[in-house]
Structure 1
Amino acid sequence: MILVTGGLGFIGSHTVRALLDLGEDCVVVQRRAPELPAVLAGAGARVAVEQADITDRDALLPIGRRHTITGIVHLAGSVPWPPAPHAPVEATRRALGGLLNIAQAAQEWGVRRLGVASTIGVYFGAKNDGPLREDAPLPMNAPVSIPTFKKVGELLGGYLADTTGLDIVNYRISGTWGPLGHPDPFFAAPALIHAAARGTAPDLSHLVGPAFAEDGLDLNYVKDTGRAIALLQLADRLNHRTYNVGSGRATTNTQLIEAIKKVAPDAQVGLPTGGDAPHLVLDISRLQEDTGYQAQYDTERAVSDYIAWLRAGNKN
């Protein structure tokens, strides 16, 4: 069985779905009261749900005595989020403590592989003259807390892998969108899809800056992201510790809007022209070479699938 922290969340639930489809049963650990999302409907006894906070070591470690856990996919956030400016030291202690508890559990349970979620954000400030490779030099600073703690987590993971012999793998996940997602502050895709499904104008007030037609990013549909993570967890052998998880291409808002118009011709999703920021695109050669991964959702298929999901009555 594979244990997935945050396994009932956005990326987590789709990763569990992919693991099930690949023949692997799962244990999901969720801090809040558990409720299986629709993407896991019909999973039955193949998904065991444990309610626990990963920062509580005494609650986490006994899970390995109740289940035969062979691998861990750590997707729960080991970052102070939302930020805690009133208590930054304690928030940092909890965030890093959760990550260390997961590493201790992996060691005590003797799991085959521990995968840890990182982010495309670790590349902010790196030289960007083409697809970003995992061996690109990274700046030591970061503009917000999430890439800061993900960089720290990658360094800690490397240290723990070297000293304990654990197989610890980092997933640098690109902009991910799709069913069960939420408005993202850095890209407009989810808001555009929700507007098209509802027949309303998009609400872009949550974005950190204005959205333009030419804005682009390595966007990956969540079903592909979940399958990529599952393949990395189950691969017989991996040649690296860090893998980019993305589409390997930039998707612009113009391309999204064109795909939306094919499904919903009357959608009110126009954006002003402009957008001169360089597009962050991940090189996914490692992922493809070591797992055989190929994306199943291009922009048009992803748009059609997500709009159909929302029109079927799902909230997000």
Structure 2
Amino acid sequence: MIAITGGLGFIGSHTARALLDLGESCVLVQRRDAEPPPELAGPDVVVERADITDLGALLELGSRHKITGIVHLAGSMPWPPDPDQPVEAARRAIGSLFNLIRAAQDWGVGRIGLASTIGVYAGVPGAGPLREDLPLPMASPHVIPAFKKIGELLGGHLADVTGLEIVNYRISAIWGPRGHAADPFFPAPQLVHAAARGTAPDLSALRSPAYAEDAIDLCYAKDCGRAIALLQLADRLNHRTYNVASGRATTNAEVVAAIKTVVPGARVELPTGGTSGGTCLDITRLRQDTGYQPAFDTERAVADYIAWLRAGNER
């Protein structure tokens, strides 16, 4: 049984579904009471309420379930920042990782997966797909990649001193069902939601203007969940860090074109004037060690996402 922190969240729910499809059972760890969605309901899924910053509550899960692996996807970093308690917020974020390592020792867990982010590559010079062995700058432009770097460093140290297998997932830009309706870093979700509703997109949540030529490694949520599940269940992994991505940079223009194929007349045009190229992650390690191949190209992802929204789902 695999424990997934944040198991009913965006990436967590898709990871759980992928693990179930591969024949594994899951315990989904949430801070608040919640029921699993219909696609996760069944005898192989248990939802447990526990705050991972509370070591006692976390350890108690091991008395009720035979947990063999941990996938840590809960958003425990201090975001958004707490201006009144910044030290305590940071303490909780780092403490939750220590608690999971302690729990893994107590439960005899074989492998722990830690969610990291494409953002750790910010400031890496050069072009081409970004590999996991590239040196990263010490500074980070945002609190999320800053704490993900800390987590990777701590995970590496703790793997060395405890003998646990701790694996980092550097996750790219993820979009799809149950995700953000308005993402601050890329406009694909806003464009799809607008097309499904028949409205013009509201891009006010973006941190910078969106242009047709802008590109990033967009990975559909179902592919992301399957990649993480394969990493968790692989008999052997040859590395501690893996990019979880599509392996290619998708332009906003490609997303717009795919939307118009599914919804002719959708009002989702973007201005030109952006930067060509864009960031993509090298997924050679992931392919070689798990056999992963992305199943969703841009058009298939758009069609699936719009169908999900038109079925009455809000995001």
Query: Is the pair's TM-score, using the shorter chain for normalization, greater than 0.5?
Result: yes
For residue 237 of structure 1, give the secondary structure of its aligned residue in structure 2: coil
For residue 212 of structure 1, give the secondary structure of its aligned residue in structure 2: coil
Deviation at 1:134, TM superposition (A): 0.1
Matches within 5 A, 1:236-255: 236-255=235-254
Q: 2:86 maps to which residue?
A: 88
Give 2:215's aligned amino acid.
G
Q: 1:160 maps to which residue?
A: 158
Distance in 1, matches of 2:126 and 2:52, equals 35
For residue 43 of structure 2, give the secondary structure of its aligned residue in structure 1: helix
Distance in 1, matches of 2:206 and 2:287, equals 32
Matches within 5 A, 1:159-178: 159-178=157-176
1:206 aligns with 2:201: no
Deviation at 1:58, TM superposition (A): 1.0
Q: Is the 8 A contact 2:249 2:277 kept in 1?
A: no
Deviation at 1:35, TM superposition (A): 2.0
For residue 228 of structure 2, give the secondary structure of its aligned residue in structure 1: helix
Matches within 5 A, 1:1-316: 1-40=1-40, 43-182=41-180, 183-276=182-275, 278-316=277-315
Distance in 2, matches of 1:100 and 1:278, equals 39
Deviation at 1:87, TM superposition (A): 1.3
Q: Is the 8 A contact 2:187 2:203 kept in 1?
A: yes
Deviation at 1:82, TM superposition (A): 1.6
For residue 27 of structure 1, give the secondary structure of its aligned residue in structure 2: strand
Deviation at 1:277, TM superposition (A): 6.5
Give 2:195's aligned amino acid.
A
Give 1:282's aligned amino acid.
L
Distance in 2, matches of 1:253 and 1:129, equals 19
1:120-144 alpha-carbon deviations (Å, 9 max, x no partner): 0000001131100000010000011
Deviation at 1:212, TM superposition (A): 0.4
Deviates more, 1:272-281 or 1:247-256: 272-281
Distance in 1, matches of 2:273 and 2:57, equals 51
For residue 144 of structure 2, give the secondary structure of its aligned residue in structure 1: helix
Deviation at 1:162, TM superposition (A): 0.1
Distance in 1, matches of 2:246 and 2:257, equals 19
1:183-220 alpha-carbon deviations (Å, 9 max, x no partner): 21000000000000000000000000111001110000
1:44-80 alpha-carbon deviations (Å, 9 max, x no partner): 1210110011101111101011000000000002310
Distance in 1, matches of 2:170 and 2:91, equals 23
Q: Is the 8 A contact 1:128 1:280 kept in 2?
A: no
Deviation at 1:33, TM superposition (A): 1.6
Distance in 2, matches of 1:69 and 1:155, equals 25
Deviation at 1:39, TM superposition (A): 3.7
Q: Is the 8 A contact 1:14 1:39 kept in 2?
A: no
Give 2:257's aligned amino acid.
E
For residue 45 of structure 1, give the secondary structure of its aligned residue in structure 2: coil
Distance in 2, matches of 1:39 and 1:206, equals 30
Give percent identity, aligned residues only: 71
Give 2:137's aligned amino acid.
P
Deviation at 1:38, TM superposition (A): 4.2
* TM-score calculated relative to the size of structure 2: 0.98
Q: How many pairs are equivalent?
A: 314
Q: Is the 8 A contact 1:72 1:115 kept in 2?
A: yes
Distance in 2, matches of 1:160 and 1:16, equals 26
Distance in 2, matches of 1:170 and 1:184, equals 23
* TM-score calculated relative to the size of structure 1: 0.98
Where structure 1 has 5 or more consecutive residues not aligned to the other structure, the ranges are none
Distance in 1, matches of 2:57 and 2:156, equals 26
Cα root mean square deviation, aligned: 0.9
Q: Is the 8 A contact 1:189 1:253 kept in 2?
A: yes
Give 2:98's aligned amino acid.
L
Deviates more, 1:15-24 or 1:73-82: 73-82
Q: Is the 8 A contact 1:8 1:30 kept in 2?
A: yes
